[in-house]
Chain A
Amino acid sequence: GESVGLHLPTLSVQEGDNSIINCAYSNSASDYFIWYKQESGKGPQFIIDIRSNMDKRQGQRVTVLLNKTVKHLSLQIAATQPGDSAVYFCAENQGYSSASKIIFGSGTRLSIRP
């Protein structure tokens, strides 16, 4: 079965608030995780990634946290905007190389309230 999963299928956030999307994984040997955003009718779009030698990584308005002890990672989106509405997937890269296959979690749909 899948080694990556999500706690909640949907998340509704007030515009301007921060969003936190959670993800659990089961394989303690996993060492490379990626967050993707998928808008309706499109392919997944890379947001941010993190390797197991880090516990935090920041991008533009996004932060990924990795807790290897409890095998959990999260994606934080600051000042959520209407354009952030999408389905967010955490994914495990099954190998050290970026050319390795990726296994997706079940996804969280983020909706923004005006």
Chain B
Amino acid sequence: GAVVSQHPSWVICKSGTSVKIECRSLDFQATTMFWYRQFPKQSLMLMATSNEGSKATYEQGVEKDKFLINHASLTLSTLTVTSAHPEDSSFYICSASPLNQPQHFGDGTRLSIL
């Protein structure tokens, strides 16, 4: 079946650095992908909609200059957390939808900022 892959699955970095997370659709093309953030024991909160070949659409309260999204191909979207700080530590999850199918989710990236 359709698979969405994220890389890395886990990353630790120092405060102030930037971190890039990749989301790939492995056996289908996705003009739209979605990025979510999930804090411990909480639900998934939609951050932004990633659009292939155009600017991402951010949800209210999400800083677009902080969370840079690039969707350069039909199978890859990247989320870059710029100048990361401890409060950015979270579980980041992406999703994409094959044609006429529900959203499929990646297995997430656990980001820890020291």
Point out the residues of chain B lying under 8 angstroms from A107, CB to CB: 42-43
Chain A: interface residue total (CB-CB under 8 A):
21
Residues of chain A touching chain B, judged by Cβ–Cβ distance below 8 Å, are: 34, 36, 41-46, 49, 89, 93, 97-99, 101-107
- With A99-B97, A102-B95 known as contacts, the answer to whether A46 contacts B104 (CB < 8 A) is yes
Stretch with Cβ within 8 A of A (4 or more), from B13-21, B69-77, B82-90, B105-113: B105-113
> Is B97 touching A89 in the complex (CB atoms < 8 A)?
no
B34 contacts A45, C-beta separation under 8 Å: no
Give the A-binding residues of B (Cβ under 8 A): 4, 6, 30-32, 34, 36, 42-46, 49, 93, 95, 97, 100-108, 110
CB <8 Å contact, A43 and B32 = no
Q: Is the CB of A43 within 8 A of B43?
A: no
Given the interface contacts A43-B105, A46-B104, does A99 sit within 8 Å of B32 by beta carbon?
Answer: yes
